[in-house]
Structure 1
């Protein structure tokens, strides 16, 4: 009986520690990319505005403001695509895509271009 108590106690301790995490922890948001920063994101979504994304993918399945940015999430064909939009450095003008992440619904990374195509086909 003793050999079962220790693993259970350890598991419960780990579970409680996980539940006690700080919910105020900062969200990992990709920084905005300026045209002259030397950072290049390849992909056809970079530079698009919200209406452009709507034409391609329809209504986002999830939308959240994260700091100075806006994250739009699209789902389809077994993948999830996150598009991060930021206003120009001048503060004038519309928010545009500066970064894109894609993953399978399992959470594993996947090719953004393939995910874009799957979401467009779903539409």
Structure 2
């Protein structure tokens, strides 16, 4: 019986399925989404880009703040330096004791620039000084 069982083993092996070589699965088909329908573009609200400046309010600067460039030049003389950038201006006046920077910005769109901020420093070393005292010392 053993011999018979051993003789059947090759026959059974012949009946067994032979494995097929595995191939890689094809990549999934690419689907492309249709572009969204054309609509008219949404345009942002038109802004002028103008921003009203903050106006400095310090005692002793009342004669400078709010004045235009001509009035300030009449008060201090010809500026040592004048810088224009867009609709803004910076006027610089210098004396023996201090340097005064006056910044002029339009208060409303299209308006003439007027003084809104003042900065002062010592002429010798550039350290900050009292703005009102500098205005007083440079005044004609």
| Length-normalised TM-score, structure 2 | 0.55
Larger Rg: 2
- Greater helix content: 1
Q: Secondary structure at the match of 1:74?
A: strand
Corresponding residue of 1:85: 104
Q: Which has the higher contact order (CA 8 A, sep 6+)?
A: 1
Where do 1:1-123 residues align within 5 Å?
33=53, 40-42=56-58, 43-44=61-62, 45-91=64-110, 93-105=111-123, 106-120=125-139, 123=140
How many pairs are equivalent? 86
Does the 8 Å contact 2:87/2:113 carry over to 1?
Answer: no
Q: Secondary structure at the match of 1:53?
A: helix
CA RMSD of aligned residues (A): 1.9
Deviating above 4 A after TM superposition, structure 1's stretches of 4 or more consecutive aligned residues are none
Corresponding residue of 2:31: none
Does the 8 Å contact 1:72/1:84 carry over to 2?
Answer: yes
Q: Which runs of 5+ in 2 are unaligned?
A: 1-50
Does the 8 Å contact 1:77/1:115 carry over to 2?
Answer: no
- For residues 32 and 104 of structure 1, the distance between their equivalents in structure 2, rounded to whole angstroms, comes to 30
